[in-house]
């Protein structure tokens, strides 16, 4: 669909779309139960189409956007934040209505100290993101990965300075183990600092490892969980049906196809489950996450307005105990929380 088509679609979108909201973990921050992921903005989605998607997200009540300083594609790190910044700069309440989360950790260049979580990089990376985003504060500043070489006191002191300067409000993590969450929170507690408010983790029906320790740790400390890759690179998005129809999109890459060949009977059973319920597999996969305790909002990464509208259906899908039990048989998790999952 071209840009004019996207705008036409925006004008004709269903006006009664209903968004559900929740608090981010233990905080008082209210966020939509779907989080708009922006990783495609720039590499796969044009700036004009990205603007239309963000406008549409706000129009249907999605107020929670996620990005990272590294997003933008090979050789274009920072491009995604720049696109969001130019969208904010249009005004119209766009910045004020948006809870913007971004991340640091990945090296932006090959120069020393231009990545990870040293106090120096935290300061520089935050200032650079603020400039690209054309805003004076970041709502949720997230560590994209654990940095095992930097002491927690150094990290938290740097985050405290940013908060005291008004440059960030909340701090989040991504790809942390349960032990890392505990380390972070106990170190923050010693400093009388609030620590982590959120954790982004790989979580979907095919990837349930976080149920062992990350989810329990997050729930214990009141940290909101934000699942990424809810469709496991398209495997849970109706890939077999799409292949048969000759329309696979990004899910047709080599890695996804290799996974599909190993998991085809399981994925076929999943698509049959969704067909019996007359629901789209992608929407049902999102709905399953929304039924899991501790989950705040899965990250959706639409490349088109149609994909964004489709995701809204997940908010209305109810999975009863029988359906959830059937999915546990089809996609066995690790057995629950540790250590009960593997010990008496």
Strand partners, 199: 173, 225
> Is 342 assigned a catalytic role?
no
User: What residues have CB less than 8 Å from 276, skipping those under 6 apart?
Assistant: none
CA–CA gap between residue 196 and residue 226 (Å, rounded): 13
Hey, what long-range contacts does 127-133 have (CB within 8 A, 24 or more apart)?
127/167, 128/69, 128/78, 129/69, 129/81, 129/102, 129/104, 130/167, 131/85, 132/69, 132/78, 132/81, 132/82, 132/84, 132/85, 133/81, 133/84, 133/85, 133/88, 133/100, 133/102
- For 37, 99, 289, 299, the CA distances from 65, given in Å and listed in that order, are 6, 6, 18, 9
Closest among 246, 102, 245, 115 to 172, alpha carbons compared: 102
Task: Identify the residue whose tokens are 């380390």.
Answer: 183
CA–CA gap between residue 181 and residue 174 (Å, rounded): 10
Give the count of beta carbons closer than 10 Å to the beta carbon of residue 20: 14
Catalytic residue among 21, 71, 141, 221: 71
Task: Identify the residue whose tokens are 């008004």.
Answer: 166
Q: Do the Cβ atoms of 173 and 134 come closer than 8 Å?
A: no
Which tokens is 35 given? 């989080």
Half-sphere exposure of 158 (CA within 13 A, CB side): 21
Residues annotated as catalytic (active site), given as ranges: 71
């Amino acid at each position: 669909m071209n840009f004019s088509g996207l705008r036409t679609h925006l004008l004709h979108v269903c006006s009664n779309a209903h968004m559900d909201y929740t608090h981010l973990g233990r905080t008082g921050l209210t966020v939509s139960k779907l989080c708009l992921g922006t990783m495609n903005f720039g590499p796969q989605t044009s700036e004009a189409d990205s603007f239309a998607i963000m406008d549409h997200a706000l129009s249907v009540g999605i107020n929670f956007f996620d990005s990272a300083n590294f997003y933008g594609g090979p050789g274009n790190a920072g491009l995604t934040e720049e696109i969001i910044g130019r969208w904010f700069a249009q005004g119209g309440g766009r910045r004020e209505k948006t809870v913007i989360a971004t991340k640091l950790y990945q090296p932006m260049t090959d120069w020393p100290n231009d990545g990870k979580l040293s106090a120096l990089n935290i300061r520089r990376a935050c200032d650079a993101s603020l400039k690209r985003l054309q805003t004076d504060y970041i709502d949720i500043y997230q560590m994209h990965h654990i940095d095992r070489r930097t002491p927690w006191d150094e990290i938290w002191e740097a985050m405290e300075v940013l908060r005291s300067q008004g440059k960030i409000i909340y701090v989040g993590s991504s790809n942390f183990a349960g032990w890392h969450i505990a380390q972070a929170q106990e170190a923050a507690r010693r400093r009388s600092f609030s620590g982590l408010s959120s954790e982004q983790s790989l979580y979907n029906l095919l990837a349930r490892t976080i149920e062992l320790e990350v989810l329990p740790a997050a729930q214990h400390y009141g940290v909101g969980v934000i699942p990424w890759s809810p469709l496991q690179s398209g495997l849970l998005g109706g890939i077999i049906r799409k292949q048969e129809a000759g329309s696979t999109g990004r899910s047709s890459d080599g890695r996804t196809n290799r996974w599909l060949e190993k998991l085809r009977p399981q994925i076929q059973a999943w698509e049959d489950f969704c067909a019996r319920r007359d629901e789209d597999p992608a929407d049902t996969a999102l709905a399953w996450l929304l039924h899991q305790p501790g989950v705040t909002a899965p990250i959706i990464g639409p490349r088109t307005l149609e994909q964004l509208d489709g995701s809204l259906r997940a908010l209305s899908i109810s999975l009863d105990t029988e359906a959830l039990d059937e999915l546990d048989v089809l996609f066995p998790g690790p057995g629950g929380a540790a250590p009960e999952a593997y010990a008496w």
